[in-house]
Amino acid sequence: MITINNLSKTFKTKDHTVQAVDDVSIDIEKGDIYGVIGYSGAGKSTFVRLINRLEDPTDGEIILNGQDMTDLSKAQLRLERQKIGMIFQHFNLLWSRTVYENIAFPLEIAGIPKANREEKVLELIELVGLKGRENSYPSQLSGGQKQRVGIARSLANDPKVLLCDEATSALDPETTDDILDLLVSINEKLDLTIILITHEMHVIQKICHRVAVMEQGHVVEQGDVLDVFMNPQSKTTKRFVQQLNPQEGSVEELKDFITSDERSKVVKLHFVGHNAKRALISDVSKQFDINVNILQGSISPTQEGAYGTLYVEFQGEPETIEDVMNYVKTTGVGVEVIDHVD
């Protein structure tokens, strides 16, 4: 649905040049919730602003439903932009207008007659859970409620795509989760494609189907959320994945819990999706003549199923441990031998 080819943006100021987005190529399917994560300065905001042409690219293509967004006249761009909604970290509401009037505003701009706006505005107010607050002003609302107005306003012209620029970064954790739940519900109800940028792995974990990791303008890794969580390649991705399991310290920290038995082996097991429900440890203990020492573990739910890791020490004869490892692999649970514990 959205194909981004070799997209680049260079900012030139008087004394320096910044390559904010550098040769980014991404495919986003209809109905996807696609997350772009990166640290501050990675180029995320610039990337998302290029998609609806709030910034002009220096190079590359953005094909939205077959239409190249980089090849439009001003009038065509105005029309195409209506198919792309956007929400912002600081909501960008009109402070002198009520909730109702904020949501009606894009319909006014699109030239929809007043009489025809009401049904749409009320429907959106209901959709985002703000019934009863129609006549409130933004200053009378909580952060979460303000973002609900932002979401309703972004949906007024029935966009096909919603861009979210750090939409939950100004909210507390509980309100963040409520807004993320709302995004999932509108993604499902309206079959809306959502592209969100964030620096929080929790946001990716909770709602995204696919993810790209940005660093210094580049996409360093992209793919299905579970694949990326399971097998992070770049240093930056590994740091982000570790945010999900903060208690999962360095392997060094596990050494105090390991027996001094030379024949034992420490392994990290990766459980994904329905495998996370498997009673693997008791299964292995019953079937093989080994002891299992559990060192550390955690589990995180994602949009695509659960993702968990478990560090264990297998104690027993080397051949038996080898048999156990082979058995674990046949169950679809990932096994990684940790070599350097001491």
The residues that touch ligand ATP, with contacts defined as CB under 6 A, are 11, 13, 18, 20, 38, 40-46
Shortest reach from residue 200's CB to ligand ATP, in Å = 11
For ligand ATP, the closer CB: 44 or 148: 44
For ligand ATP, the closer CB: 38 or 106: 38
Among 61, 79, 80, residue whose Cα is nearest residue 4: 61
Shortest reach from residue 224's CB to ligand ATP, in Å = 22
Give φ, ψ of 318 to 5 degrees.
-55, -40
Among 338, 339, 279, 342, residue whose Cα is nearest residue 308: 279
For ligand ATP, the closer CB: 20 or 207: 20
Does residue 99 sit in helix, strand or coil?
helix
Q: Looking at the chain, list the stretches that DSSP marks H as alpha helix, in order from N- to C-terminal side.
A: 44-51, 74-81, 99-109, 114-127, 143-154, 173-190, 201-207, 225-230, 235-244, 280-287, 318-330
Shortest reach from residue 52's CB to ligand ATP, in Å = 14
Could you tell me which residues come within 8 angstroms of residue 115 by beta carbon, excluding any fewer than 6 positions away? none
For ligand ATP, the closer CB: 55 or 248: 55
For ligand ATP, the closer CB: 152 or 214: 214
Tokens for 46, please give them: 């610039």
For ligand ATP, the closer CB: 55 or 134: 55
Shortest reach from residue 8's CB to ligand ATP, in Å = 12
Handedness of CA 162, 164, 165, 170 (dihedral sign): positive
Among 332, 341, 286, residue whose Cα is nearest residue 312: 341
For ligand ATP, the closer CB: 176 or 275: 176
Shortest reach from residue 194's CB to ligand ATP, in Å = 17
For ligand ATP, the closer CB: 171 or 321: 171
Tokens for 140, please give them: 């009378």
Could you tell me which residues come within 8 angstroms of residue 229 by beta carbon, excluding any fewer than 6 positions away? 205, 241, 244, 302, 307
Shortest reach from residue 9's CB to ligand ATP, in Å = 8
Cβ-in-10-Å burial (0-12, 13-18, 19+) of 256 comes to: exposed
Shortest reach from residue 46's CB to ligand ATP, in Å = 3
Could you tell me which residues come within 8 angstroms of residue 143 by beta carbon, excluding any fewer than 6 positions away? 91, 170, 171, 172, 175
Shortest reach from residue 163's CB to ligand ATP, in Å = 13
